[in-house]
Chains A and B, each alone.
Chain A
Amino acid sequence: MWRRIRHIIIKEFIQVFRDKKLRFFLIVPPLVQLLTYGYVVNFDIKHVAVAVFDESRTLESRQLIDRFTSTDWFNVKYYVKSQKELLHLVDRGDITLALWIQWDFATRMRQGKSGRLQVIVDATDSNAALIVSRYAGTVIADYNQLQLDRQLARQGQEWAGQSGTPLDIEPRAWFNSNLISRHSMVPGVIAMVVLLVSLMLTALSVVREKEIGTLEQILVTPIRPIELMLGKTIPFVIISLLEVAMVTALGILWFEVPFRGSFLVLLLGTMAFLFNSVGLGLLISTVSSTQQQAMMAGNLFLTPAILLSGLIFPIANMPVFFQYLTYLNPLMYFIIVTQGVFLKGAGLVLLWPQITAMTVLGIGMLGLAVARFKVHIA
């Protein structure tokens, strides 16, 4: 059995490494993705143009504005006197973020209610808008915390008659101090590259043999379906692991992304994920008769998998139905694993639910693929 499988594996490797296009496909697109997400889709924002309509004109409102002016993220360019002016600036595209601090902002806060503040983000580029609003959210949360601390301190003084300095808690996004920057993107790209490479290689390699007729030639030999399937997937699992190594190395060495966890956990997570992508690749190869069909079928899954992974669009912002859908998306779990291993140094103690979920989904997917493969190919 292993002799047959070994011969298929050797043959696949010869073919992959002899094929210029494939060699290109294995090296260039992953690098381009890494560089694009690392540099171009640079989510670190700086000097976002802001206009403020401060209706409240109080100490509290000025403190809030100060919070915005004192970071590099925002550049408060305009102070306007009416809502109309504010909206006008947004319409003209002069600013990306508009802050409207309402007249009762301070009054309400002093009464212990929450102050009212309207934040308008130019959502022409919805992706950027999302990020800008996240950053604005951080600034506001930061300010809130400060106010809360003060209030607590004040109350503490009143009730306990004790003096004490308010705790100066600096809220920071944990693990990834620049929020969604390249630090979280690089692990995400690793996950996407693994998906792309393993899915496409597996699907195309089987379908190509259908196209050129060699599959038929293999099927008249005494090979068993399971041997053929193993021979057709093991090489791509190995290549996918090499891809992980390549992108990881580049992420660490070039983008200086911290790698806090263990390679073993990353390997384990990758293997669990590969059940899914290789299984899907096999499944696609049973329903497609040309490489073009296989590509199309592959893309049909790739885009939703990435969109529903939470890498670019936060899952919490999705409609509830789609939030549930993400539970069926192995890429969602895999990205948590890669980001966890890289940025948090998370181990199995933390990541076992994700790895288990991927394994369960993966076994289901492979099972389906094996069943269909037996009927439709062998």
Chain B
Amino acid sequence: MTTEKAIVVKNLSRHFGDFKAVDDISFEVHRGEIFGFLGPNGAGKSTTIRMLNGLLLPTSGEGRVGGFDIIRENARIKNHIGYMSQRFSLYEDLTAEENLTFFGGVYGLDPARLTGRITEVLILVGLEDRRHDLTRTLPLGLKQRLALASAIIHEPSILFLDEATSGVDPISRRNFWDLIYAMAQEGRTILVTTHYMEEAEFCDRLVLIYQGRIIAQGTPSELKGEVKETILALYPGNLDGALDLIKKLPQVAEAAVFGDGLHIATTRPEETEPAIQETLTAHHIACGRIERVRPSLEDAFISLVQRAEGKEAVSYQQSAIS
């Protein structure tokens, strides 16, 4: 590899008709880093990955992956990357081993290396005792590990994992992340997209994507530091009822369910705490103790999205006036 940066993206956009699925994003990923893409549904995470691995051409902007240009050297990138798409996409009617043989073969591995690699990756993902099982018969967690095995059969230096753990139980997810860590340890660069906040915490660095745009980037703690509001946590008797009431309070910037309690963002905590107690008591909902907590990544996410939406509203007004 010729550069220290595994991925460099500059002003990348992809439009579908009038719709801007990815809108002028720029970021860099260092070698050996676990880099996270965090964003709600339809934010443009998959579209970005598809441009980086050569499945989709950008509308404008540029990017380099492993030192190769994503538009002009599109074909040369492919030997260096592995991709696990959002949908499970192995052959259900082939065995685990047959799937690996096929993909390894299509990557052009010679027979000796192929045999060796199949055993290696099967051991790595803990599937060597299921190698002759039809993929259809594997539970989802194992299927996803097999998909990972197939994505790394050719030892790529950069790995794209698009919601690799969606729909998998927490324990399998944990195991999966152990694998991701192990691969990062070997010096591979890993770009993951996720919905799960706790997974985002595992990333070295993150970008937050919202409506095709990057609204924040940094390490998880940097992102949490972006939160200007104070976060109040409380565990009221009636979650939904309390949430409705609290959202109506003028002092509250944002309120959301968090675990089995509520997280409330506010810039004026001294006024907000009594206001909450007052309105809940008035409606006969037990309030419990209100605590000030360190913002979680989810709080940061909500707050940053709020801020982005606010800006959007402002710029919209401006353009309406001018």
**CB <8 Å contact, A7 and B89:** no
Residues in chain A near residue B92, CB distance under 8 A: 212
CA distance A134 to B161 in the complex (A): 69
Q: Does B102 contact A (CB under 8 A)?
A: yes
The size of the chain A interface, using a CB distance under 8 A, is 22
CA distance A216 to B106 in the complex (A): 13
Q: Which of chain A's residues 1-46 have a Cβ closer than 8 Å to chain B?
A: 3-4, 6-8, 10-11, 14-15, 18-19
**CB <8 Å contact, B89 and A212:** yes
Residues in chain B near residue A216, CB distance under 8 A: 55, 85, 89
Q: Which of chain A's residues 210-258 have a Cβ closer than 8 Å to chain B?
A: 212-214, 216-223
**CB <8 Å contact, A223 and B106:** yes
Choice from A4, A15, A212 contacting B106 with Cβ under 8 Å: A4
How near does chain A come to B207, taking the closest CB pair, in angstroms? 22
Q: Which of chain B's residues 75-103 have a Cβ closer than 8 Å to chain A?
A: 75, 78-79, 81, 83, 85, 87-94, 98, 101-103
14 A-B pairs within 8 Å (CB atoms) are namely A3-B105, A4-B105, A7-B106, A10-B102, A10-B105, A11-B91, A15-B94, A212-B87, A212-B91, A213-B89, A220-B54, A221-B106, A221-B107, A222-B79
Known interface pairs A216-B85, A220-B78, A220-B83. Does A14 touch B106 (Cβ–Cβ under 8 Å)?
no
Beyond contacts A217-B90, A220-B78, A221-B78: 4 other A-B pairs, Cβ-Cβ < 8 A, are A4-B108, A19-B93, A216-B85, A217-B83
How near does chain B come to A18, taking the closest CB pair, in angstroms? 5
Residues in chain B near residue A219, CB distance under 8 A: 54-55
Q: What 1/0 flags go to B102-144 for Cβ under 8 Å of A?
A: 1101111010000000000000000000000000000000000
Residues in chain B near residue A218, CB distance under 8 A: 106
Q: Does B165 contact A (CB under 8 A)?
A: no
Residues in chain A near residue B55, CB distance under 8 A: 216, 219-220
**CB <8 Å contact, B98 and A11:** yes
B: contact size bracket? 20 to 34
**CB <8 Å contact, B75 and A222:** yes
Instruction: Please give me the residue from chain B that is nearest to A218 by CB atom.
Output: B106
**CB <8 Å contact, A6 and B90:** no
Instruction: Please give me the residue from chain B that is nearest to A18 by CB atom.
Output: B93
Kindly count the residue-residue contacts between A and B in the assembled complex, taking CB atoms under 8 Å apart: 66
Residues in chain A near residue B110, CB distance under 8 A: 3
Report A's interface with B, CB cutoff 8 A. 3-4, 6-8, 10-11, 14-15, 18-19, 212-214, 216-223
Residues in chain B near residue A223, CB distance under 8 A: 106
Residues in chain A near residue B102, CB distance under 8 A: 7-8, 10-11
Residues in chain A near residue B79, CB distance under 8 A: 222
CA distance A217 to B102 in the complex (A): 11
How near does chain B come to A356, taking the closest CB pair, in angstroms? 36
How near does chain B come to A24, taking the closest CB pair, in angstroms? 15
**CB <8 Å contact, B103 and A15:** no
**CB <8 Å contact, B105 and A217:** no
Q: Does B303 contact A (CB under 8 A)?
A: no
How near does chain B come to A17, taking the closest CB pair, in angstroms? 10
**CB <8 Å contact, B85 and A213:** yes
Residue of B83, B90, B105 with most chain A CB atoms under a 10 A cut-off: B105
Q: What 1/0 flags go to B33-59 for Cβ under 8 Å of A?
A: 000000000000000000001110000
Instruction: Please give me the residue from chain A that is nearest to B87 by CB atom.
Output: A213
CA distance A57 to B30 in the complex (A): 105
Residues in chain A near residue B105, CB distance under 8 A: 3-4, 6-7, 10
Residues in chain B near residue A3, CB distance under 8 A: 105, 108, 110
**CB <8 Å contact, A222 and B98:** no
How near does chain A come to B74, taking the closest CB pair, in angstroms? 10
Residues in chain A near residue B98, CB distance under 8 A: 11, 14
Known interface pairs A7-B101, A11-B94, A15-B94. Does A220 touch B89 (Cβ–Cβ under 8 Å)?
no
Residues in chain A near residue B103, CB distance under 8 A: 217, 221
Choice from B85, B94, B101, B108 contacting A217 with Cβ under 8 Å: B85
CA distance A19 to B93 in the complex (A): 8
Q: Closest 8 CB pairs between A and B?
A: A7-B105, A213-B89, A213-B87, A222-B78, A220-B83, A217-B89, A221-B106, A11-B102
How near does chain B come to A256, taking the closest CB pair, in angstroms? 40
How near does chain B come to A25, taking the closest CB pair, in angstroms? 15
How near does chain A come to B49, taking the closest CB pair, in angstroms? 10
Residues in chain B near residue A214, CB distance under 8 A: 89-91
How near does chain A come to B142, taking the closest CB pair, in angstroms? 18
CA distance A213 to B84 in the complex (A): 11
Residues in chain A near residue B91, CB distance under 8 A: 11, 15, 212, 214
Known interface pairs A3-B105, A217-B83. Does A15 touch B78 (Cβ–Cβ under 8 Å)?
no
Instruction: Please give me the residue from chain A that is nearest to B104 by CB atom.
Output: A7
**CB <8 Å contact, A222 and B107:** yes
Residues in chain B near residue A19, CB distance under 8 A: 93
Residues in chain A near residue B101, CB distance under 8 A: 7
How near does chain B come to A211, taking the closest CB pair, in angstroms? 10
How near does chain B come to A169, taking the closest CB pair, in angstroms? 63
Instruction: Please give me the residue from chain A that is nearest to B95 by CB atom.
Output: A14
CA distance A219 to B90 in the complex (A): 13
CA distance A218 to B107 in the complex (A): 9
Instruction: Please give me the residue from chain A that is nearest to B91 by CB atom.
Output: A214
CA distance A3 to B106 in the complex (A): 8
How near does chain B come to A6, taking the closest CB pair, in angstroms? 7
Instruction: Please give me the residue from chain B that is nearest to A6 by CB atom.
Output: B105
